Structure 1
Amino acid sequence: MKKELRLQTLAMLEQISTEEFNRYASLLHEHLLQLPSWKQAKTIALTMSRGKEIPTMPLIEKAWQEGKTVCVPTCFPETKEMTFYEYTPETKMISRYFGLTEPDPQVSAAVHKEEIDLIIVPGVCFDQQGYRIGFGGGYYDRYLADYHGVTIALCLSLQQIEYVPAEAHDISVSMIVSEKGLLYQK
């Protein structure tokens, strides 16, 4: 079920023109940057976006301008865990799994979960209860199980579905932001 929903949503995203996608993404960024959760956060965690994922580089640059600490994850498939590392223009990035660029754990400064105020959680589709279907690795659900800060998912309204078949280990996000504004808040 989750696999079909993931594939259907990814197929719909592929059909949007780049212009339209970029326009929606800019509107979404504007909504996110107005949220108290963004404004108050001193340390923000997010992923390096690619393809038809909401672009995160503009958010990273904005966070830097605002004097925030930015961290991005490195995944460790052997243990199915991920660690966030501080990300600056000088961070040494390496390309490992599925062509994702991640901070090099050998030379990067790890950021502890308790220090992160806001995590932008990636996903393919989301429902009205804040549950998500991610990219299938389960890294975020494991990481968020004992995380107590704010979690925000970014998605276009077409990525919102009525119902995600959530399992016991699935963690819902605090808020969902789309090009139309706040779609959901816990």
Structure 2
Amino acid sequence: MQSPSAFTTAQIRTQVRKLRRDLSPQQRLSAQQSIYQQIQHHPKVAKANHIAIFLSFDGELETKPIIEYLWQQNKAVYLPRIHPFHHHSLLFIRYHPQTKLNINQFGIAEPKLNVNEVIPYQKLDLIFTPLVAFDQRNYRIGMGGGYYDRLLANQNLTRTYPIGLAFACQKLDHLPNQPWDIQLPEIITA
């Protein structure tokens, strides 16, 4: 891919999503196994009790094995869903094997709203963050809705630690960023 500065954010999204989807099954499996091992040996994962993660969509890293691992470690796992009243915000709902899922307006599976299973995002220890592209400075480009940018801008990052998850093909030298873009402290990749 040419220098990202030659492309708009929308063009970067399109190009990198295609690169991600075009990974061969062997490339995908090898990278995912490496990322899973990094997560299993990560000290912040070991210490965390309440962990938010996303369900894979559009060629993203497969997160179901991570969720299974977290359950085996007796971690409380939470999935994002679009807030029913504040449509530009996310809620995090406890995810169990029997949790019912709906498909939202973007085609992404999310848990049905159950107010008894909602956790305030400030009480999450870790948030595994999806992304389309990222750069050496750990700036990310998401799908374009701004949900995670708003979330990360509103929280105290000393309590909740965000970690991006991505394939190495999603890394670019430098992404154009806006003042509201949030630099992630860490991205796990392979």
Query: Normalized against structure 1, the TM-score is what?
Result: 0.90
Per the TM alignment, residue 82 of structure 1 is displaced from its structure 2 partner at its CA by 0.8
**Cα distance in structure 2, aligned partners of 1:110 and 1:142:** 18
* Paired residue total: 179
Q: Is the 8 A contact 2:21 2:58 kept in 1?
A: no
What secondary structure does 2:106 align onto?
helix
Q: Note if 1:80 corresponds to 2:88.
A: yes
Partner of 2:124: 116
- What is the aligned partner in structure 1 of residue 4 from structure 2? none
Question: Per the alignment, in what secondary structure is the counterpart of residue 85 of structure 1?
Answer: strand
Map 1:29-68 to 2 at 5 A: 29-68=36-75
Relative distance call for 1:98 and 1:79 in structure 2 (3 A) is closer
CA contact (8 A) 2:54 2:130 kept: yes
Q: Secondary structure, in 3 states, of the residue corresponding to 1:173?
A: coil
TM-superposed deviation, 1:100: 1.3
* Alignment partner, residue 24 of structure 2: 17
TM-score normalised per structure 2: 0.88
Identical pairs, percent = 32
Distance 1:7 1:92 in 2: 31
> In structure 2, what is the Cα distance between the partners aligned to 1:14 and 1:113?
30
Structure 2 residues without counterparts, runs of 5 or longer: 1-7
- Residue aligning to 1:97: 105
For residue 127 of structure 1, report the CA deviation from its aligned partner. Answer: 0.7
CA distance in 2, matches of 1:98, 1:176: 24
Deviation at 1:79, TM superposition (A): 2.6
The structural deviation recorded for 1:146 is 2.3
SS at 2:21 equivalent: helix
Q: Is the 8 A contact 2:77 2:94 kept in 1?
A: yes
> Unpaired segments of 5 or more residues in structure 1?
180-186
Which deviates more, 54-63 or 93-102?
93-102
Matching residue within 128, 136, 145 for 1:137: 145
Question: Is the CA contact (8 Å cut-off) linking 1:91 and 1:108 kept in structure 2?
Answer: no
Residue 99 of structure 1 aligns to a residue whose secondary structure is: coil
